[in-house]
Amino acid sequence: MTTKSITEMPSVSYGATIWRLIKSFGLLRESWVGMIGAFLVLFWVFVAIFAPLIAPFDPNAAIQPFATPGVVSASGKTFWMGTDHMGRDILSRIIWGSQTVLFYAPIATVCAYAVGISMGLMAGYRGGLVDDILSRIADIVLSFPVLVLYIIVIATIGSSGFNIVIAITFASSPGIMRIVRGLVLDLRNRDYVASAQTRGESDWRIMLFEILPNARGPLIVDACLRLGYVIITIGVLGFLGLGLPPPDPDWGGMVNETRQMAMVFPHMTLFPCIAISSLILGFNLLADGLREISLRD
Amino acid sequence: MILLLSKRIGFMIFTMIIVSMILFLLLETGLTGDPATRVLGNFASDEQKELWRDQHGYNQPVVIRYTQWLGNFATGELGTSIRYKSPVKDVLLPRLWNTAILGFWTFAIMIPLSLTLGVLSGMKEGSLLDRTISVFGILTTSVPEFASAVFFSALFVFGLKWLPGTSSMSSGFDFKQLILPTMVLVVYDFGYVARMTRASMAEVMTSQYIRSAVLKGLPYRQVIIRHALRNALIAPFTVIMLQINWLLSGVIVVEFFFAYKGFGALLLEASLNNDIALLEACAMVAVVVAVTSQTLADIGYTFLNPRIRFS
């Protein structure tokens, strides 16, 4: 493969794809459901980026235990969402917790997609024995109850951010593989693939530059839904006490630590739950809006 | 037909064997840490560990150990739980029964609810009713089980004081304690089934036989009940069977939250306490339930849908 043939590539380039992507996000205006979703997601992204500036307190500092929402601290600042049993400001922990979620969830999703897309492209494009083996592996992993899988994997290898990413990649790449495989089976008989084969392009080049860009629509919608689902998973693991090790704030973990006190101090569990639900809702509404738009044209 | 059946059942057994191998590798070999340390704790001396390994046959070759282990499993010899100091079977069965009760009520409420909503919104795609139901479905599936458990407890336990906040059933079976766990599971799961029913119903409504039935002058009600429903409910059957797999995950969260003495809480407890024999038994039960329900879904689908039966 020489550099000349790269410049001669007639089909979509990734720059153009990205530009078209941005434009299709602009189309979201037409779907109010999608707009609300985008707003919720962007809100949390901003909160995560500017966490050091917004958070009124240090998220791990024990200031005043069991303060209810609205209580004013000794330093004159208000605990808008109260404090937890260790005296840490809940608002600040939620703000810093958004960083944790929006760091690990996209990484886990991207890893799952990298594995799922390569498996799906190979299974769909090559077919035959490769397809059979990969599909069987996917069937087996998908038949396992997901949370049971996470619990066993994390109970045996220990809980850390890295292990959570591995567990999520392992459990969700087969689903992505199935979607990609289906799309490739449809796309591989198109004329532009045939012409690329005639030009003598390598299989990988055809898969990555001819087929994949044309399969992006359904994959983007799926990625939004999957991000929401990965956030649920990270939250649930935190809630079960298998999430990120303390003391760094993690929304699911916050609920786990304070759920025993929920009958007396409901604010401790209520606010982290609102935070995580609103972020997941954002991704799901965004996916719904994008799907609606992609069906329209 | 027989070929298809045997193929499905063969794959089911194959999956279970592969999963049992993975479980064995993860929990019984040194791959992820010494099992002797896991059972005896970090402070056991090397001699104690060696003695333990010898007594429990851990010094034999892996293949022999796996075969013995699998044989024990197949014959129902599940070993002893370290935490409960009693045979795993005695611990497991009552817990499974409790979860079955929870699962039964969840399905008994979720299935009629999601099918009705799905059919209603699929009847007229894009209508106001359709949009309302689908946005409502997105809303409920966006709230993780532990969050909706928190919301419901805040409302019904803390706020209105109608329902008990824990479901440990410590003083005998109490139906009131079952309400909140069931509610959480239904709310999280019904959105997905409703969405699938809607898609299936919407597809049927665009088919030619529905158009003919309408053009023939049949009342709309009759078109829906006699012609559309029977065909639209085939796909949701599979989805509902697959939902059992999801329910297993949900059950862990809900039972942990409400301290319900069920199978999910037991599995979590076993994994947090390194109770290997119990964890293995729980995981195998989960896999058997999941794989069996999937196989039944596949076979049932073939029976319900004559179009794919002979292809």
ipTM for the complex shown: 0.83
pLDDT, tens only, A230-241: 999 999 999 988
Q: Which of A81, A273, A276, A290 to mutate to test the interface with B (most CBs of B within 10 A)?
A: A273
Gap between the Cα atoms of A35 and A33, Å rounded: 5
Asked if the model's pLDDT at residue A8 lies above 70, the reply is no
Gap between the Cα atoms of A165 and A244, Å rounded: 11
Gap between the Cα atoms of B44 and A166, Å rounded: 31
Half-sphere exposure of residue A113, counting CA atoms within 13 Å on the CB side?
18
Return the higher-pLDDT residue of A251 and B84: A251
Asked if the model's pLDDT at residue A11 lies above 70, the reply is no
DSSP assignment, residue B81?
Answer: E
Cβ(A14)–Cβ(A7) below 8 Å: no
Gap between the Cα atoms of A97 and A94, Å rounded: 5
Least confident of A106-110, B33-37, B52-56, B59-63: B33-37
Question: Does an H or E element contain B76, and which?
Answer: none
pLDDT of residue B217: 85
Return the higher-pLDDT residue of B172 and B65: B65
Gap between the Cα atoms of B2 and B7, Å rounded: 8
B26 contacts on A by Cβ (under 8 Å)? 152-153, 156
Are residues B287 and A155, on separate chains, in Cβ contact within 8 Å? no
Residue in A147, A156, A284 closest to B138 by CB = A284
pLDDT of residue A117: 93
Least confident of A107-111, A249-253, A283-287, B181-185: A249-253
Gap between the Cα atoms of A63 and A66, Å rounded: 10
Return the higher-pLDDT residue of B73 and B212: B212
Average pLDDT over residues B160-180: 77
Q: Is the dihedral of CA A116, A117, A118, A123 positive or negative?
A: positive
Q: How far is B274 from chain A (nearest CA, A)?
A: 8
pLDDT of residue A5: 45
**Residue A237 CB neighbours (<10 A):** 25
Extract long-range pairs of B172-179: CB within 8 Å, 24+ residues apart: B177/B258, B177/B260, B178/B101, B178/B102, B178/B105
pLDDT, tens only, A88-131: 888 989 999 999 899 999 999 999 999 999 999 999 888 889 88
Which residues lie closer than 8 Å to A250 by C-beta, 6 or more apart? Answer: A97, A100, A101, A234, A238, A243, A244
pLDDT of residue A4: 44
Asked if the model's pLDDT at residue A187 lies above 50, the reply is yes
Q: In the numeric block, which tokens belong to residue A238?
A: 């935190």
Which residues lie closer than 8 Å to B35 by C-beta, 6 or more apart? Answer: B27, B28, B29, B58, B276
Q: How confident is the model at residue B102 (pLDDT cuts 50, 70, 90)?
A: very high
Return the higher-pLDDT residue of A22 and B244: B244
Number of residues in chain A:
297
pLDDT of residue A10: 47
Gap between the Cα atoms of B275 and B58, Å rounded: 17
**% of chain B beyond a pLDDT of 90:** 12
Burial A14-31, CB ≥16 within 10 A → b, else e = eeeeeeeeeebbebbeeb
Q: What Cα–Cα distance (Å) separates residue B165 from each residue in A201, B169, B176, B295?
A: 64, 11, 10, 37
Q: How confident is the model at residue A190 (pLDDT cuts 50, 70, 90)?
A: confident
Average pLDDT over residues B113-131: 87
Return the higher-pLDDT residue of B143 and B71: B143
pLDDT, tens only, B186-196: 998 888 889 88
Q: How far is A28 from chain B (nearest CA, A)?
A: 16
Block residue for tokens 């390194």: B274
Q: Which of A81, A133, A143 to mutate to test the interface with B (most CBs of B within 10 A)?
A: A143
Return the higher-pLDDT residue of B202 and A9: B202
Amino acid at A267: H
Block residue for tokens 């078209």: A20
A276 contacts on B by Cβ (under 8 Å)? 144, 147
Peptide bond into B61 cis (omega under 30): no
pTM value is 0.86
pLDDT, tens only, A19-70: 766 776 666 677 788 889 999 999 999 999 998 888 888 888 777 777 778 7
**Residue B246 CB neighbours (<10 A):** 19
* Nearest C-alpha neighbor of A93 from the set A40, A149, A55, A44: A55
Average pLDDT over residues A196-202: 87
Amino acid at B107: F
Q: Is A169 on the interface with B (CB under 8 A)?
A: no
* Nearest C-alpha neighbor of B213 from the set B234, B228, B232: B228
Asked if the model's pLDDT at residue B145 lies above 50, the reply is yes
Mean pLDDT, chain A, integer: 83
Q: How confident is the model at residue B24 (pLDDT cuts 50, 70, 90)?
A: confident
B143 contacts on A by Cβ (under 8 Å)? 273, 277, 280-281
Average pLDDT over residues A70-98: 82
Locate the chain A residue with the closest alpha carbon to B251: A147
Q: Which of B21, B271, B273 to mutate to test the interface with A (most CBs of A within 10 A)?
A: B271
Phi-psi region at A70: left, alpha or beta (left = phi > 0; alpha = psi -120 to 50) = left
Gap between the Cα atoms of A210 and A193, Å rounded: 7
**% of chain A beyond a pLDDT of 70:** 91
Are residues A156 and B27, on separate chains, in Cβ contact within 8 Å? yes
Asked if the model's pLDDT at residue B111 lies above 80, the reply is yes
Asked if the model's pLDDT at residue B59 lies above 80, the reply is no
Average pLDDT over residues B211-232: 85
Return the higher-pLDDT residue of B207 and B83: B207
Cβ(B268)–Cβ(B211) below 8 Å: no
Least confident of A50-64, A187-201, B100-114: A50-64
pLDDT of residue A231: 93
Gap between the Cα atoms of B295 and B311, Å rounded: 18
Asked if the model's pLDDT at residue A17 lies above 60, the reply is yes
Q: In the numeric block, which tokens belong to residue A15?
A: 């720059």
Average pLDDT over residues A152-175: 84
pLDDT of residue B309: 58
- Give SS3 for B151: helix
Locate the chain A residue with the closest alpha carbon to B160: A263
Task: Specify which of A17-26, B102-111, B129-138 reaches the highest per-range mean pLDDT.
Answer: B102-111
Return the higher-pLDDT residue of B151 and A217: B151
**Hey, which bits of chain B come out as E strands?**
80-81, 86-87
Q: How far is A282 from chain B (nearest CA, A)?
A: 9
- Give SS3 for B86: strand
pLDDT of residue B134: 86
Are residues A277 and B147, on separate chains, in Cβ contact within 8 Å? yes
Average pLDDT over residues B59-63: 75
pLDDT of residue A3: 45
SS (H, E, C) chain A: CCHHHHHHCCCCCHHHHHHHHHHHHHHHHHCHHHHHHHHHHHHHHHHHHCHHHHCCCCCCCCCCCCCCCCCECCCCCECCCCECCCCCEHHHHHHHHHHHHHHHHHHHHHHHHHHHHHHHHHHHHHCHHHHHHHHHHHHHHHHCCHHHHHHHHHHHHCCCHHHHHHHHHHHHHHHHHHHHHHHHHHHCCCHHHHHHHHHCCCHHHHHHHHHHHHHHHHHHHHHHHHHHHHHHHHHHHHHCCCCCCCCCCCHHHHHHHHHHHCCCCCHHHHHHHHHHHHHHHHHHHHHHHHHHHHHHC
